[in-house]
Amino acid sequence: MILVIDVGNTNLTYGVYEGQTLRATFRMMTKTPRTSDEYGILILQLLSNKQIKGREIEGVIIASVVPDVMHSLTGGLIRYIGRQPLNVGPGVKTGIKVVTENPRAIGADRIVDAVAAYEKYGGPVLVLDFGTATTYDLVTADGNFAAGITAPGIRISSEALWKQTAKLPNIEIKKPKSILAQETISSMQAGLVYGQIGQTEYIIRKVREESGLKDLKVVATGGLGRLIAEETDSIDVYDAALTLDGLRLVYEKNHKQQEWCRWKEAERNP
């Protein structure tokens, strides 16, 4: 089994794969400071709750956009799981070629989303991730990460409303009964949800128009992605496990490469 970890700005999302089967998932809040011991013990406890022993984990891979947690998280994994994690970044084989102006600036989470969408659904594909930020990433038919769009996520927009105004409350993000809201909470929900739907449809339309890719598939993921995907025909597929699947695929590509290198080395030095 392998442990895959998506370190996002809001949550750390963990997945355990047995072969290609996702056996278990669990989450932690990213902004809670933890020592390496706390990470290690919590991970072992959460694995145990899913009837998985730490010694059953054969490998670990991480995609992180939060550098501050990496020292403690990596230390906890080494000390308590006994595995040195593979960190998605420069030098890691992904099968996706980043052809933007500054490839190193593309987040690891966006790379693994692109890997999973391309491997599972083919290209060209536009990958939408409704996380802390809402991202739109274009992967061409030949596997090039060609362009990316970044917008504030729905939760960021919601927090901006209630934190920066005196009378607007913190609300649950859900679709209201009607866009014709008649009180404060549903008016905020209408603006947030329908505003995100409108943004999504417009950006998809402009990407199709400027790229000229008429056969472009649109795949969405992320916590609030299902809410938006259910409200628009512009999204072809909602895949909740896309990021975790991408991590598994990247791990497999690099694990196979390491095995091949060891085999070649053994051939040269029998």
With contact defined as beta carbons under 8 Å apart, do 173 and 158 qualify? yes
Backbone angles phi, psi at 155, to 5 degrees: -65, -40
Listing DSSP states for 15-54 in one string gives EEEETTEEEEEEEEETTS---HHHHHHHHHHHHHHTT--G
DSSP H/E element including 182: none
* Residue type at position 204: I
Alpha-helical (H) ranges within the chain are 36-49, 70-76, 108-121, 154-163, 184-211, 225-229, 242-268
How far does the chain reach from its first CA to its final CA, in angstroms?
30
* Sequence-ordered list of residues with C-beta below 8 angstroms from that of 245, at least 6 positions apart, any chain: 22, 116, 120, 239
Catalytic machinery residues: 109
Strands 144-152 and 59-64 turn out to be: unpaired
Task: Read off the tokens for 9.
Answer: 């700005």
